[in-house]
Amino acid sequence: MFNTIKNAWRIPELRKKILFTLVVVVAFRFGSVIPVPFLDASGLAELMQSANQNTALGYINMLTGGAFSYASLFAMGITPYINSSIIMQLLTVAIPYLERLSKEGEAGRKKIGTITRYVTVVLGLLQGVAYYFYLRNSGIVKYTSGVGGVFVAFVIVLCFTAGTALIMWMGEQINDKGIGNGISVILFAGIVARLPVTFGYVWQYFQLGLTSPANSAHYLVLAPLFIVLFLGVIWVIVFMNEAERRVPVQYAKRVVGRKMYGGQSTFLPIKVAMSGVMPVIFASSILFVPQFIHFFVQPEGGFWKAFFDAFEQTGWVYIILYFLLIIVFAYFYMSIQYNPLEMANNLRQNNGTIPGIRPGRPTADFIGKILSKVTLIGALFLAFVALVPIIYTRVTGMGGLSLGGTSVIIIVGVALETVKQMESQMMMRHYKGFLD
């Protein structure tokens, strides 16, 4: 990976793209510490310190790279755009008009992208209003009554919404003039910005093991074990990201004029991690709803307090539901992305067959069974990566270390995708052609 970056830096055009991406990332980090007016930043910092790292507050703060704890312009992060993209993917299957647009090529994708932007702004507005009421109820807003209170509310919500739109625009600029997927790069930058905080907690526990004889054996083993676990999860993600099931395909020979075509053997690649991180994002978005409602309800005891406590990120109810939802959404996403009958028809139209399987419906059934098995393996892999850090925190009681598996998948996935883009662009520039 480092050799790829070094070689890409030597090419002037790629060097400009890398520098442009770095400038946008730096601007994003600056925007993450620019405070929104009329908010008590010190009060919000105290609130974040007192809040459990495994609650929705900690989850939001992690995704925004700490911007939420600073009450900054980018406090909502890229979450509204992610939610908007999820909604549009679901509606593309349910609404015929959007389904037709998705099949119209580049023009259709541009129209869907425009609709996604409008939905992002609407979701950002709604989420900004919700954040304002939460901050006001927590005593973070400086002015809350009279005409001044209405003006303050308008400014705060407008800043939050504008920050969301600005992040979305920055991501699109990276797509056009930079390297990598813009939204993924910004999300990557926000998560990586929280890594020093996470490893700072590891160092604190390690120091506690050195200074406290009662806990020395406990923390001196568990703190380094977290680092080993973190590196092991990265290795598993890299391995599974490249894993694929290759279905052999044989193309029949055919004569067109004086030329003979076909006759070669190839394979149909089906990636194990075909759905990427989307099932984890879907599952975490649904389980985030009870925690978000907990912002406003805040029950002092009884059934509802126990209900909301069960949905904390280290609760067993949360862990079990998280596991089941990841499996369900992995199959749902597979059904959206792949149609075995269409794949079988495409093979038959191109005179391709799977050895030992008859064309048509038998081929579709065979591909469907393979997709089902591969999806199960990929879903179990995603569930493992997403739940191991949470279960580790639950068992050891070492708070502040639950760097979600979703975050690790995003970090590794974005890094691999960006490096692949660099390699493909370098390959295009070093291609000599047929005459050389």
User: Which three-class secondary structure state does DSSP give residue 235?
Assistant: helix
DSSP 97-163: HHHHHHTSTHHHHHHHHHHHHHHHHHHHHHHHHHHHHHHHHTT-BS--SHHHHHHHHHHHHHHHHHH
Contact status, residue 166 vs residue 31, Cβ threshold 8 Å = yes
Q: Express each pLDDT in 58-73 by its tens digit.
A: 666 666 666 777 778 8
User: Please, what's the largest Cα pairwise distance for the chain?
Assistant: 87
User: Which three-class secondary structure state does DSSP give residue 338?
Assistant: coil
User: Which three-class secondary structure state does DSSP give residue 136?
Assistant: helix
List the one residue out of 98, 121, 129, 132 whose CA is nearest residue 169. 121
Q: Express each pLDDT in 117-154 by its tens digit.
A: 999 999 889 888 888 887 887 777 876 666 567 888 88
Domains and CATH numbers, the chain: 1-194 (1.10.3370.10)
Strands 259-261 and 254-256: antiparallel
What pTM was computed for the model? Answer: 0.76
Contact status, residue 345 vs residue 357, Cβ threshold 8 Å = no
Q: Express each pLDDT in 284-342 by its tens digit.
A: 777 777 776 766 666 666 777 777 777 777 777 888 888 898 898 888 888 877 888 88
